[in-house]
Amino acid sequence: MTTIGGLVQNEVEENTLGVVAHDRRKARSPLRIPVFASSRIIDENAGSLGTAFLGFGAMIVCVIIAVFSLGKFTVQWERYASPAMEVFAWLLYAVLLVSVLVVIRRNDDRLSDRMFVGYTLGLLTVVALDLGAIWPLHDVSGTATAAIAAGVGVLAMVGVRPLRQVLATAMIFGALLLIADLVDGNVQADHLAGTLAMLSQAVLPAVIGCFILRSFRRMVTLELDRVLVQSTVSAPRYAVGMLASEELARLDLAAEQLLEGVSSGRTPLPLDARVAQTAASLATELRLHLIEGRRETWLYHAISESELLGPAVTLSDPNSLAGLLDPRQRDGLLSAIWLLVSESGVKVVGTDRTARVTLGPSDREAGAGPMRKLLVPIVIQTSGVARNRVDPGTWDAIRKVGKHADSVVDGSLRLEVECVVENPADA
C-alpha cells in the first residue's frame, strides 16, 4: 500500500502537464530533469556516443608519453642504484595499463568503483617504486620516469569516470611528485623549471583531457538535444507530445496499480486518507490529460522537450498557428531559434541568451485568387544576442520561414518574419 501510495504520489508531483506554455519555467523542478530525452539517451549510450572512442584516444596519448618516459629510463639505466625496482615499476605500469584497457572494453565502457580504486592504487604503487628507485639520485624531477607515466595513466580513465574524480586523482599525483621533488634534498632555483616540466608532463594531460572531454560531451548533448527536438518538425498540426504521452501512460499505470491494489485487497477498504488523496489527484491528472485541447503544436513540444530551448525560449502562440507551418518552414524556424539561443563563438559573460517567440495574430490573407494563403506574422525578440554575433546560418534558416526584417531592440536582435502558410480553411 505504501509503495503504491508513494509511487502515485510521485507521479502526481512530477506532473506538469497542467502547466501552460508561459508557465513552463515554473515546471522545471529538479524532479523533472530525467524527463529530458537527451540526458536519458546519453546515459544509455555513454560509450557509443564517442566518449569511449575518445577514452581510447586518451589511452594512445598515454602510451606515447609512457614510451617516451620509458626511453628516458633506458637512457639513464646506468645511474640507478637498484634498477630492479624501476623495472618492476615499469612492468607493473604496463600490466595496469593493459588490464584497465581490457576491463574498460569488456565492461561495456565502464569502470566500476572497485576497479577505479584498484587502478589508482596500482598507479600509486608505480609512483612509490619509481621514487624509491631514483631517491638516491636526489633529483626527482630530472630522473622520474615511471612516476610521470603513472600520472599520465590517469588519462586512461577520462572517458569512463566522472571528470571530477579524474581531475582529483591527477591532482593527487601532481601533489605527490611535487612534494617528492621538494624533499629530495636538492632544491635549487634552477631546478624549478625541471619540476615544472615534470608536473606539466604528469598532470596536464589528464587535466586537459578532462577539459576536452567536457567540451565533447557538451557538444554531443547539444547535438543530441537538437536532433531529438528536430523530430517535432514532422509532427501533425496538433500533437500530444512525447512528455504528455509518457505522462499519460504513467498515470494509466499508476491508476492500474492502485485499482489492482484495491481489488486484490492489498489496499484495505475504506482507503486511508493518503491513498484516497492519491486517488483524487490521479483522477484530476487523468482528466486533464484526456481533454482534447491539451494537444499542442510541434513548436511547443520542441521547446518544452529541449534541454537548451526549454529554459531560454518563451513561446506565445495563442492560436496554435505554428501548426500551420510546413516542414521546411518549421525546420527553418527551429534552426533559427536554436542558433540564436545557443552560444556560439564568443561567450558574453553574464548574459543568458533568451528569445521570446510570438506567432500571430494572423489577420491578413496573402495574395488573392483561388489558392488563398494565410499570413502568419512571427516575431522573435531576443535578449543578449548582438546583431553581429549571430551565427550566419541563422539567416539561411530564417529565409526558409519567410520574408524577414531585423532590427535591434534594447541592444538585442529582433526578427520579424512574414510566414505564408496554407489556409487550413481551404485544406
Q: How far is the CB of 397 from other proteins (least distance, A)?
A: 9
Residue number, 269 or 368, with CB nearest to other proteins: 269
Using the structure block, give the residue that is written with the C-alpha cell 502547466. Answer: 19
Looking at beta carbons only, is 376 or 401 nearer to other proteins? 401
Q: Which of 3, 29, 107, 234 binds other proteins (CB under 8 A)?
A: 234
Q: Does 224 bind other proteins (CB under 8 A)?
A: yes
Residue 228 engages other proteins in binding (rule: CB under 8 A): yes
C-alpha cell, 315: 513561446
DSSP secondary structure letters along 27-51: H--GGGGGG-HHHHHHHHTTIIIII
Count of CA atoms in the C-beta half-sphere (13 A) of 188? 9
CB of 358 to other proteins, least distance (A): 25
C-alpha to C-alpha distance for 382 and 385, rounded to whole angstroms: 6
Could you say which of 1, 21, 32, 68 contacts other proteins (CB under 8 A)? 68
- What minimum distance in Å lies between the beta carbon of 296 and other proteins? 12
Residues in region 161-220 near other proteins by CB under 8 A: 189-194, 196-197, 200, 204, 207-208, 211-212, 215-216, 219-220
Beta bridge pairs of residue 417: 378, 404
CB of 297 to other proteins, least distance (A): 13
List Cβ neighbours of 224 (8 Å cut-off, separation of 6 or more). 38, 41, 42, 49
The residue type of 35 is: V
**Strand (E) or helix (H) holding 409:** strand 403-409
Tell me if 154 contacts other proteins by CB under 8 A.
no
CB of 390: closest distance to other proteins in angstroms?
14
Is residue 287 within the footprint of other proteins (CB under 8 A)? yes
User: Binders of other proteins among 322-361, rule CB under 8 A?
Assistant: 344-346
Site for other proteins in 377-416 (CB under 8 A): 393
Residue 155 near other proteins by CB under 8 A: no
**C-beta of 378: minimal distance to other proteins in Å?**
21
CA dist 148 → 57, 87, 99, 120, 153 (Å): 19, 15, 19, 14, 9
| Binding segment (CB under 8 A) for other proteins, from list 21-29, 60-68, 350-358, 363-371 | 60-68
Applying CB under 8 A, the site for other proteins has a residue count of 86
Prior bond of 377 cis (ω within 30°): no
Residue of 315, 404, 322, 306 lying closest to 357 (CA atoms) = 315
Give whole-number Cα distances, 197 to 142, 182, 190, 194, 304, in Å: 9, 14, 12, 5, 49
Q: How far is the CB of 172 from other proteins (least distance, A)?
A: 19
Query: Is position 108 an interface residue for other proteins (rule: CB under 8 A)?
Result: no
Per DSSP, the three-state class of 369 is: coil
Q: Which is nearer to other proteins, 94 or 262 (CB)?
A: 262
288 binds other proteins per the rule CB under 8 A: no
Q: Which of 246, 352, 365, 426 binds other proteins (CB under 8 A)?
A: 246
Q: Is 297 helix (H, G, I), strand (E, B) or coil?
A: coil
Please, what's the b/e burial string for 4-34 (b: 16 or more CB within 10 A of its CB; e: otherwise)? bbebbbebbeebbbeeebeebeebeeeeeee
Q: Which is nearer to other proteins, 53 or 80 (CB)?
A: 53
By rule CB under 8 A, what string of x and - marks binding of each residue 247-286 to other proteins? -xx--xx-xx-xxx-xxxx---xxxxx-xxx-xx-xx--x
- Closest separation in Å from C-beta 279 to other proteins: 4
Q: How far is the CB of 100 from other proteins (least distance, A)?
A: 18
**What nine digits make up the cell of 299?**
513548436
Decide whether 265 or 370 has the Cβ nearer to other proteins: 265
Q: How far is the CB of 338 from other proteins (least distance, A)?
A: 10
Residue 318 binds other proteins, judged by CB under 8 A = no
Site residues for other proteins, 19-58, by CB under 8 A, read 37, 41, 45, 48-50, 53-54, 57
Grid cell of 307 as nine digits: 534541454
Work out which of 13, 108, 223, 426 binds other proteins, going by CB under 8 A: 223
Q: What are phi and psi of 179, to 5 degrees?
A: -60, -45
Phi-psi region of 185 (alpha: psi -120 to 50; beta: other; left: phi over 0): left
The answer to whether residue 121 forms part of the interface with other proteins (CB under 8 A) is no
Reduce the DSSP state of residue 271 to 3 states and report it: coil
